[in-house]
Structure 1
C-alpha cells in the first residue's frame, strides 16, 4: 500500500460511539492523531485524540485491547517509538483503533480509558532530538526579500536548493505555553552602535511541522522515492521571530537569538496515514524555473506530494479578551504555496549523509499565499511595520504586543472525505523580564 492511498479507516460514512467525534472539526474518527497528555494529577501518557476526548493508548495496551497489534514499549516521555514503527505496523494500529472507537460493542471495554481533553494537560508529543527550519514558502521568500532587495528578492540558489538552518530543539513548547518577549541586541537605523533590550518587532511565522519517523544511518542518504517512508506526521508550528534582532545578527551565519528563544507547536502528531485523502499534485513551477535536480525529482512526489490544507492565523489582543470578543482573522491560505514538497526537504536534509532520527522536527518555513489576505507573518502584512494593520475593534498593530495571543489553525479537506484538522497552535506573549 502506497503512502497516498486510503483504506476503510477513511470512509466518510464511518462514525464513532464517542459522540463528540462525529462532526468534530479537528478530530473525527478519520483522524486519530498521537499525543502526550497528563490526566489531572497523573504522569504523562501516550494518547490518541478522538473528538473532545483522549484515548489512553497505554491503558488500552495494558487491558489487552491492542493485542492484535505489534507495539513497541510505551514511554511516558514521548511518542518516538510510535513514530519509528514501520508503516505497515502504523496502519495496523490505526485500523485497530478505528474499530475500537467505531464498534458500539467495544464501548464498555474502551470507555474507562477515555479522558476529557479539557481536563488534561497536553505536552510536546515527542522527545525532539533535532529541529531544522526550512524556507519553502516562495511567496514569503519573495515578500521578505523584496523589502531588502526590491529588484532581486530571491537569491540565485532558492530555486535549486531547499534552504534551511538548524534551530533550537530545547525551546520548542506545546500550544498554550506562553512566550516571553526576548531581550537581545539590535541596532536601530538611527543609532551608531547596537543596544540591548526587549525586541520591538516581535513576529509570528505560520508553518507546518514535519515529524520524522524512521531514521537513516549516519553517512547514508534518503532517496527522494523513499522519503515518504521517513515522514511520520504533521503539526502546526509558530516559529516566533524577533525581526530587529534578526536584521542585525543574521549576517554572515544566519538566524540565532532572533529565533531560538521559543517555537510553539500544536500538540498532536497528525499521521501521514490520516492525511492520505488530502494529497494533491505539487503545483507546476512557473515557466522558466529550473526543474529540481535529479536527487529531488520523483514522479510519485510530483503527483501526490502537496497537501490540501487551509491554514489560518488569528490574533486575540488583551483588549479583545477582556471584552469577550472573538479573535480576529489575520490570514487564510493554502499549504500548496510551498515551492518544495515535504519529501524533497527530507531527501535534501539527508542527501549529505546527515542522520535523521525518530522525533526530529522539520519546519517548512513561513507559508504565505500570493495575496495579502494569505500572508503568514506580520513582517509581510505590515510591510516591515510601515503599514500597520487595523483590527475590527480599532486597535492597530505593526508587530505583536505584550498580551497578544496568536492562534494558528489548519483544516484538511477534499471531495468525498471527512475533513480533519491539526489542532490549535496558540500562545500568549508575556512581557520581557
Structure 2
C-alpha cells in the first residue's frame, strides 16, 4: 500500500509506475513517473542527472538491471511512510504539467499481427480472393515508417493530402484524403540495442524491451490503397502516428501475460515461443466521447517477442528508442474491431453516433481516444493512459507550417 491517498481501484498505483516526460509552465522537460493523478519528478527525487533529460533514452539505455533497481527504489519511496516528507515536494498534479513525447524515437516499424484484422481487411478489399496472403501465418508482416512523424497524445493531426484514385475514376488526382482512419495499436519501446548481424533470440525479449505504450497509427485508406502495390504502405500511413505519454514498464505486466492463440502451422524455430508473451490488454476506442469498440490484445496471432525476433531475424540491429507497433488490434466480434474501416465495412455500413450523425471515415474535428488496462497483482488493473488526437482540416499550400529544423 502507498502512503498517497489513492482510490483502491486506481490504475496508476504502485504496481504500475509508468514513465513519461513532463514540464511545468512549459520549461525544463524531465522524466517523471505517474502515481495516481500526480507525476513524481525523478530528477529531484533520485538526485540523478539521467532523469533531468528531456527524454527517457539515456535511462532506457542503462539496461534491465538498472530498470529493476529504479523501480524497486520508487516502490520503496512511495510505500514507506518514512520517505513521505522527502518525496511529497516532488509530486506535481497532472493538471499542472505538460506531458511530452516520452522518448526520442529512433526507428519505427509497424506490424500486422492480428489475424482478425488481416482477415477482415482482406475480405473487405478483395472479396473474391483468399483474405490472408500465403505467407501470413509463417511470418509477422511489417514495414518501416517515419519516426519523425511520431507525436505525443493530444497533438492535432492534420488531414493528409496525396494521390488517390477511386475504383470508378479513370485517372488519379491529388488532394485531401477522403477516407481518413485510425488504427488502435500497442507499441513496444526498445531500451537496449543489439549488434548488427546478430538476431535477437526470442527468449531475450525482456532484455531489450523497456516498456509498452498505446499507439494510434493514423491511415489515409484511399492514398494507401492506390500506392500499396507493389511495395506496400508509404505516404498513406507516414504522415502521423500518435503515442500515449506513458510507457508502462514490462515488469508491471507480469500478471497480464497469457499464451498466444494456437498457431497453424507451427512457426519456424526462431519464432517458437519459449515463454508466454501474449498480453491480456483490454483496449477501448472512443470517437467524440462515444465508445466504438473494445479490442482484445490477447487475441493477437503474433506476440511482441515474436515480432522482435522477426524484426532482427536478418541481422538488422535495434537501438535505444526504437518503436515497433502491433498493427491494428482486432477481435473476432464486430464490436472488437480496431479501425473505422473495419467497423464501417470500408464506409459501406457507416457507424451511427449518439448525435445522429454517421461515420464511414473520420471527419474534420473528430477526436479519437484510445485507452487500455491490463490485469495487475491482487485483482488490480494497470492503466496505460490515453492516446488522443483530433483531426484538423488539410492545410492549403499557403498555410503549410515552416519546415522542421
2:4 maps to which residue?
18
Unaligned runs of 5+ in 2: 396-405
Is 1:308–1:414's contact at 8 Å kept on the other side of the alignment?
Answer: no
Match of 1:306 among 255, 278, 293: 278
Change (3 A) 1:359 1:21: farther
1:81 maps to which residue?
58
Q: Does 1:290 align with 2:265?
A: yes
**TM superposition score normalised by structure 1:** 0.88
Supply the RMSD in Å over aligned alpha carbons: 1.4
Tell me the alpha carbon deviations over residues 315-355 of structure 1, each in whole angstroms, 9 at most, x when there is no partner. 10xxxxxxxxxx11000121112111100010111111111
Q: Does 1:164 align with 2:124?
A: no
Is 2:159–2:176's contact at 8 Å kept on the other side of the alignment?
Answer: yes
1:257 is paired with a residue of what secondary structure?
A: coil
Match of 1:243 among 221, 235, 242: 221
Tell me the alpha carbon deviations over residues 195-249 of structure 1, each in whole angstroms, 9 at most, x when there is no partner. 1111110000010011011110111111112122111110100000000000111
129-138 or 414-423, which moves further after superposition? 414-423
Match of 1:258 among 236, 251, 259: 236
Is 2:252–2:376's contact at 8 Å kept on the other side of the alignment?
Answer: no
**Match runs of 1:366-377 below 5 Å:** 366-377=328-339
2:29 maps to which residue?
44
Q: Does 1:403 align with 2:365?
A: yes
C-alpha separation in 1, matches of 2:380 and 2:72: 17
276-285 or 165-174, which moves further after superposition? 276-285
Match of 1:420 among 366, 371, 382: 382
C-alpha separation in 1, matches of 2:390 and 2:22: 21
Q: Does 1:31 align with 2:31?
A: no
Is 1:405–1:427's contact at 8 Å kept on the other side of the alignment?
Answer: yes
C-alpha separation in 2, matches of 1:176 and 1:142: 31
Q: Does 1:201 align with 2:179?
A: yes
1:275 is paired with a residue of what secondary structure?
A: helix
189-198 or 237-246, which moves further after superposition? 189-198
C-alpha separation in 2, matches of 1:169 and 1:415: 34
Unaligned runs of 5+ in 1: 1-14, 63-70, 317-326
Is 1:314–1:331's contact at 8 Å kept on the other side of the alignment?
Answer: yes
85-94 or 122-131, which moves further after superposition? 85-94
Is 1:29–1:98's contact at 8 Å kept on the other side of the alignment?
Answer: yes
C-alpha displacement at 1:123, in angstroms?
1.1
**Match runs of 1:31-430 below 5 Å:** 31-62=16-47, 73-74=50-51, 76-150=53-127, 151-285=129-263, 289-300=264-275, 304-316=276-288, 327-413=289-375, 416-430=378-392
Q: How many residues align?
A: 394
C-alpha separation in 1, matches of 2:377 and 2:180: 39
**TM superposition score normalised by structure 2:** 0.94
Is 1:172–1:264's contact at 8 Å kept on the other side of the alignment?
Answer: yes
Is 2:28–2:54's contact at 8 Å kept on the other side of the alignment?
Answer: no
C-alpha displacement at 1:415, in angstroms?
7.3
